[in-house]
Amino acid sequence: MRTPARSLSLLALVALGCGAPEGDPLPRLLDSLGGEVFVQPYRLPSVQMADQHGRPFDLRTEARGHITFLYFGYVHCPDICPITMATLARALERLEPAEREQVRTVFVGMDPPRDTPEVLAPWLANLDPSFVGLSPTFEELDAILAQLGFRRPPQEYPEEGPYEVAHPGLLFVFTPDRLGRYGYPPDALDADVIATGVRALLNLEWRSRTGVDVQGAAAADPLGQAQVSVYATLVNGGTVADTLLGLSAPGARAGSLHEMVHEGGVMRMQAVPSLVIPAGGRLTLAPGALHGMLEGVSAPPIAGDTLDVSFRLARAGEVVVRVPVLHPADVARGRSEDGQGPHGGH
């Protein structure tokens, strides 16, 4: 069933995403998996914090190349939260060990005062020891939800007495390209259906979707201006071409792609809608040639800072890279020294 994402207890905002390439078998497959297919896929949030055992956990790193189930709930939930997680645990029991290794399950606590690591650890262990539990603060939780286009409704968290917590009802499913393409609402939870869906997704050729790596990324210190140039080499290790559609970063109003055009001894910057990365090839963004541009940056960075830049690709989804900000002269020197100068690698 292809429907917009349900907001349930929370207010859903716009979820940005990209459509599947023409001829892609994925849309038809998604329609057969028994869940709700999102009109626009959700981008997997960037989450970096300790898990229930105190170990560092990076959601986007762990999810790449895996099927990832993401659920927002709370341990003291008397109804749908334990049912959802128990059904998912039973679904994973139906998979072969090799299939299980390609699945990640993350539970995000919506009740910061009570969903502590000490509470999450035994609760999740009783369901499935592979489940990852995160205990964000209110501020961290709001930031995670905002990346998905949700906001937490105001409510009281009394120190004494029981209380309920509003939370999304969907069990989100992110495919190996880290896009949330569908989910299971409470009335669609079925262990056999979920397990069958996992197997079907794993049978697709995802290498072509996840085969792009971003290397040698750097941003130029804008010297106080609100536009930041971004350079990198995108290497496509997949079997089909991919397309760079744009880029973005927190605090930037927009992101765009440009090329420098040389005509009659004059250089001018010209916007380009997208850039193709050939199968087994590379695309280089370099000073004086093709490059990315972050526009309307609210707090211009300086040399020594870093930016979390998202490169949006038609097949591989979003690739988020922590990009160092360098003095403009260091950017030019560094790109020349590694052989990716203004005219190399296109």
What is the spatial distance between Cα 260 and Cα 289, in angstroms, rounded to a whole number? Answer: 5
- Report the pLDDT value the prediction gives residue 103, as an integer from 0 to 100: 97
Does residue 28 sit in the same domain as residue 52?
yes
Rounded Cα distance, 131 and 89, in Å: 9
Both 176 and 239 in one domain: the answer is no
Per-residue pLDDT of the chain (346 residues; tens, 9 = 90+): 444 443 433 333 333 334 444 456 778 888 898 899 998 888 888 899 999 999 999 998 899 889 999 999 999 998 999 999 999 999 999 999 999 999 999 999 999 999 999 999 999 999 999 999 999 999 999 999 998 888 888 888 888 778 888 888 899 999 988 889 999 999 999 999 999 999 999 887 664 455 688 889 999 999 999 999 999 999 987 777 889 999 999 999 999 999 999 888 888 999 999 999 998 899 999 998 999 999 999 999 999 999 999 999 887 777 888 899 999 999 876 554 444 443 333 3
**Is residue 1 in a domain?**
no
User: What is the domain-level CATH number for residue 29?
Assistant: 3.40.30.10
Domain boundary among 150, 184, 204: 204
Specify whether 63 is located in the same domain as 106.
Answer: yes
Among residues 179, 204, 229, the one where a domain terminates is 204
Per-residue burial over 75-86, b if 16 or more Cβ lie within 10 Å, else e, is: bbbeebbbebbe
How much is the pLDDT for 12?
Answer: 38
Question: 103-109 and 132-134 as β-strands: parallel, antiparallel, unpaired?
Answer: parallel
Q: How far, in Å, CA of 68 to CA of 148, rounded?
A: 15
Q: Indicate whether 50 and 23 sit together in one domain.
A: yes
Q: Distances from the Cα of 193 to the Cαs of 88, 265, 274, in angstroms?
A: 10, 63, 38
Give the domain extent around 124: 11-204
- What lies within 8 Å, CB to CB, of 159 at 6+ separation is 113
Is the same domain home to 174 and 225?
no
Q: Are residues 267 and 326 in the same domain?
A: yes
Please tell me the total count of domains within the chain: 2
Residue 3 lies in a domain: no
Residues 135 and 214 grouped into a single domain: no
Does 346 reside within a domain?
A: no
Residue 2 covered by a domain? no
User: Is the sign of the CA dihedral 210, 211, 217, 219 positive or negative?
Assistant: negative
Write out the two tokens for 160: 């004494």
Residues 79 and 171 in one domain: yes
Q: Which two tokens stand for residue 43?
A: 């981008």
Residue 345 in domain: no
* Residue 176 sits in the same domain as residue 36: yes
My answer on whether 189 and 232 are in the same domain is no
Q: Which CATH number characterizes residue 284's domain?
A: 2.60.40.1890
Answer yes or no: is 343 within a domain.
no
Q: Is residue 4 in some structural domain? A: no
- HEC sequence for 192-260: HHHHHHHHHHHCCCCHHHHCEEEEEEEEECCCCCCCEEEEEEEEECCCCCEEEEEEECCCCCEEEEEEE
69: β partners: 105, 173
Residues 178 and 269 in one domain: no
Of 177, 204, 231, the position where a domain reaches its end is 204
The SS3 assignment for 292 reads: strand
User: 5 lies in a domain?
Assistant: no
Backbone angles phi, psi at 290, to 5 degrees: -70, 140
